[in-house]
Amino acid sequence: MTTPPPILYPRLLLTGAAGGLGRVLRPRLKPHCQTLRVSDIAELGAAAVGEEVMPAPLQDALAVDKLLEGVDGVVHLGGVSVERPFDEILPVNIVGIYNLYEAARKHGTRRIVFASSNHVTGFYKQSETVTPTMPVRPDGYYGLSKAFGENIARFYFDRYGIETVCLRIGSSYPEPKDRRMLATWLSYDDLERLVVASLSSPVVGFSVIYGMSDNPVVWWDNASAKHVGYQPQDSSAKFKNAAEAKQLKLDLSDPAVIYQGGGFVKNSPI
């Protein structure tokens, strides 16, 4: 008989619960809390057993304040998740994360797992290996907003003691879609392992971790983040032949091939 996982939090909040990764994590997080509160501005469906459904726009400070009432921990996936004009990024990804941390401070929330992004360092070259302590090099307004989120998390830990694990998520899909993702791929099972490790580690302080599986091609060095106990068990290796068959040749002058951010380094959403 399988032993159920320990209850980590009386009430855990999942923002962005209607998004791609939110839908993956929603059923996987419920065993780790007594009550899972899910939020988004998109349709969330009916509350399952042990769930609370609370839609809230992140740019609405009063709504976010109410959203954080009674919340012990947060998995924050909410926000714009692709490159967009700055005017679209600003209210949700920048004002919204300020609202989240300020509400967490007021209500005594003790830990946040923040879905940052590999695009915080997207302008490093694919020939480089990046550590979480190296200077950020955002590849667009989206990456810039995630760098701001990491900074506000650092500030709220230093001043108020709210612990945060910032997850610089790579490419989390059922399988890699191209050759770039052989390095950036994060399986759904490893995503769950990473988030649960971030929620359950006794002490995390302010931590930055790259979200990747145990891939043979490595651009990111997570050695400084071993204290959270994340151990990926999947690998992109089995998808190598299929991914390379889709891209038999690479244009080595293409910025999307030169830089780790891929197509984000040259997207122009304006």
CB 64 within 8 A of CB 100: yes
Residue with tokens 């899972």: 36
Rounded Cα–Cα distance for residues 227 and 139 (Å): 28
CB 17 within 8 A of CB 23: yes
Which tokens in the block code for residue 211? 């979200």
- What is the identity of the amino acid at 92? V
User: Is residue 142 annotated as part of the catalytic site, yes or no?
Assistant: yes
Rounded Cα–Cα distance for residues 238 and 74 (Å): 33
Annotated catalytic residue within 101, 142, 156, 230: 142
Decide: helix, strand or coil at residue 74.
strand
Residue with tokens 């990111």: 220
- What is the identity of the amino acid at 142? Y
Decide: helix, strand or coil at residue 211.
strand
What is the 3-state composition of the chain as percent helix, strand, coil, each rounded to the nearest 5? 40, 15, 45
Rounded Cα–Cα distance for residues 79 and 93 (Å): 5
Of 195, 52, 47, 38, nearest in space to 116 by CA:
195
Between helix 188-200 and helix 20-29 the angle, nearest 10°, is 60
- Residues recognised as catalytic: 142
